[in-house]
Amino acid sequence: MKRRTVLVLGMGAAFGGVGVWTVAGASRRKSHTDKEAVEKYFPALGPLVEAHWATSRDGEADGRSLLPSPDLIVTAVLRLKPDKVATLVANGGFRVVDTDVSNLSWFEKGLSDFLPTGAKWEHSDAFDEAALSKFNGGQCYLDRATDTVFARAVNPIGPGVPTTATPAAASSS
């Protein structure tokens, strides 16, 4: 009788732990939708029609981050005004690249729902420098057909760094 009780309690704890981890993981994968917070850091892309973004520090305050990093990564899926991407790409220096932006890390998983299916991503190193001038580095990939930009940038520079959602943004997530 004791073995069965211990076994049942152990299985309950294991499944309960999985449930807690799943809930915590799901909350970390929510994306933020505060356009104004992101437009400050991507002025070359605005004004934005829609923004979904996440940072590597979202959800880390609970102490569950397995590999904390000193770098702050901001990843965003941004929808621009119609034909804005075509205008940006027409300025030259872009090439179609074979990249898998859907290969997202733990904190970016909530953004996968906003990535366009079958996108033809175009990239330009010179555009990265201009569009990401408020970061220490990163990449922008643009899709003309959907006027979508996928941006991943490291270490924002300046005040108002989008590290977590503001109370207004958290309620709209």
Residue-range domain boundaries for the chain:
31-172
Q: Do residues 138 and 152 touch, judged by C-beta distance below 8 A?
A: yes
How far, in Å, CA of 58 to CA of 109, rounded? 12
Between CA 152 and CA 173, with CA 45 as vertex, the angle to 5 degrees is: 65
pLDDT over 70, % of the chain:
67
| H helices present in the chain, as ranges | 2-28, 35-39, 84-90, 125-131, 167-172
Cβ count near 105 (within 10 Å) = 11
How far, in Å, CA of 110 to CA of 34, rounded? 15
pLDDT tens string 13-57: 444 444 433 334 444 446 788 888 888 889 999 899 999 999 887
The pTM for the full model equals: 0.72
